Amino acid sequence: MDAEATKPLAAAIAIAVGALGPALGIGLLAGKAMEALGRNPEASGSVQQNMILALAFAEAIAIYALVVAIIILFV
């Protein structure tokens, strides 16, 4: 099988697997943040600040997977 023919498949697998973890993490994080806000509304500032920071870290992992997929396609 030709290597050029398998590049799109490899890129698709890389982004699919690489985005699965951050997607699950973001979902769990948002759910737990809403749960924490429901239990203690006074702590909304602290919960929101920490949630946004953790979301940024999870998104960074998905961006790394996207970069790897693009490298697979064009190199």
We report the CATH number of the domain holding residue 65 as 1.20.20.10
pTM: 0.78
Note the pLDDT tens digit of each residue in 14-28: 999 999 999 999 999
* % pLDDT > 70, the chain: 100
What range defines the domain where residue 13 resides?
3-74
Domain count, the chain: 1
Q: Per residue, what are the HEC states of the chain?
A: CCHHHHHHHHHHHHHHHHHHHHHHHHHHHHHHHHHHHHHCHHHHHHHHHHHHHHHHHHHHHHHHHHHHHHHHHHC
Whether the CA torsion 51, 55, 56, 57 is positive or negative: it is positive
Q: Which of 72, 74, 75 is nearest to 18 (CA)?
A: 72
